[in-house]
Each structure stands twice: as structure tokens, then as C-alpha cells.
Amino acid sequence: MILRIVKASIRSGKGPALESVYQDDVMTGLEKTDGCLFAGLLQGLNSTQHYASLTLWESSDHIRNYTDSGSFDRNIEHIRDFLEETSEWEIQLSREDAIEYVPVKQKPIVKSYPVDAGGDYLPDYMEGSRRFMRMLSLKIKPGQEEEFKRIYKNDIQTTLKKTTGCRFSVLIDNTVKEREFLSLSIWDDHESVKLYEEQGEFSNLLKKVSHTLANLYQWKMALESKSKSKYSVTSEDAEISKYTLVAGKKFR
């Protein structure tokens, strides 16, 4: 199976309109699309203008058929008027044949992750709305993949199962393509996520896998342990994204 995430930023005040179009047009179309198992719309928790469409597919061939048919482009057209404009401009002729500069709409960011077909990636918690989804991306050192997966299964996932408010967690292996693991968890409410992070549980679990993480991240941690000064982020930092599940539906 393939987990596909399409991210975009929208113009201020256009959230309700986007959510309506996604549920009425985009999600309805995906339900009729061969190979699409689930579709959900996520809204950024800290930046409410950031949205993501999360879909689960039977195979990469089904995604290819979906895009080749033009359906993906049509779905983008449904939401294009809501997209935030970039800092770029394009030149075109007006009706009066005068040259004018027109702001360019941003292009959504698309990422795909292979997932184990034997896993439970469609729990009941994925349906409905107002759940909270947390995505943690970590870059791994070559040769440390099995060690990281062992610790995740034995320590991290075991802890998350006991953590108040955490309903579901899964590890997605993207190390072949980008040397990345993606931990996806679903929570009852934002308060549970805050307690998990602020009470130190997340930091303790991150330390358990610190020796498997990419060199730049380890270098940064070593510097921070010696000084209270803040250092610039690196390309191998742990990346945390938090979303509200606005709407989600299982199709198969």
C-alpha cells in the first residue's frame, strides 16, 4: 500500500470553503476512484492556513492511473482559487494586448510513502473528524534501520499504547527512498499531545533512538548538551507536524 500526502497553504479566511469543497467534491471523487482506500483532510494545528490531504492506496499503479487520468489535476482545480499565492509572478497579455504581471498560485507538495500491507492502517479512529494527528519524521544513519524499528516496536509504540489520549500509532519506513522513518499517531485531543511532549515522555523516547539518527542531528544534540544557546536547524532535524483531522472516510 501507499500513503500519499498532499500539502498546501491557503489564503486567509478560505478554510471553511476549502473544507466544504474537499468533502463534497474531492472526497466524493476519490471514493469512486479504483484503489483509493481512505481520504482525509488535515488542518495544521499551529498554522491553520496549512492543510494536507492524506490518502491511502492499494498500490503505486492505482496512484499512477489516478494521475494519468487527469483526476488529480481536476481535484487541484477544485481548490486552486483557495491557494496562497507565491512570491513569483508570471507575464501574460491582457485582453487589451497589454503586458501584465500576474501572481502565481503555489503548487501543492506531494509525498508518497510505502506501507506494509499487513499492517492495520485503517483503524476506526481514522474516520469522522476532530481527532488530532501527529507526524514525526526522522532521518536515520545507514545500517541503523533494523535497530530503530526494534526500539520503536518495543519501547516507543509500547509507551504510546499506554499514553492517555493516544489511540493509534504506526511506523512508516521510507528509508530506501529518503533515509527517513515517519511515525504517525492519532490522538483524542490536543491536550493529550501537549502533556506527552511537555512532561518529557517524548524527549525520553527520542533519546532511546538517538544513536540511530543521522550524523547532523547527533552533532546538533551534542552542541545543545554543552550550551543553552540555540543552534540553527539542520536538514536532518526531527520534523514534527500536528494536524486536526477535519474529515476522514474509509472507502474499502
Query: Residues 80, 194: one domain?
Result: no
Same domain, residue pair 148 and 245: yes
108 and 15 both lie in a single domain: yes
pLDDT tens column, 220-237: 444 444 444 443 433 345
b/e code 209-232 from CB counts within 10 Å (16+ = b): beebbbeebeebeeeeeeeeeeee
For residues 202 and 240, state if they share a domain: yes
Residues 118 and 145 in one domain: no
Res 170: pLDDT: 86
134 and 252 both lie in a single domain: yes
Q: How many structural domains are present in the chain?
A: 2
**What CATH number is attached to the domain comprising 84?**
3.30.70.100
Residue 81: all three cell numbers together: 482559487
Residue 115 near residue 3, CB atoms below 8 Å: yes
Which residue, of 101, 122, 143, is where some domain finishes? Answer: 122
Write down the pLDDT at residue 233: 37
Could you tell me if 211 and 233 lie in one domain? yes
Question: Which of 64, 99, 122 is the endpoint of a domain?
Answer: 122
Domain residues for the domain of 42 are: 1-122
Whole-number percent of the chain with pLDDT over 70? 76
- Is there a single domain that holds both residue 158 and residue 210? yes
Tens digits of per-residue pLDDT, 106-164? 678 888 888 865 555 566 656 666 788 898 888 888 899 999 999 999 999 999 999 99
Model-level pTM?
0.76
By DSSP bridging, strand 131-139 and strand 180-187 are antiparallel
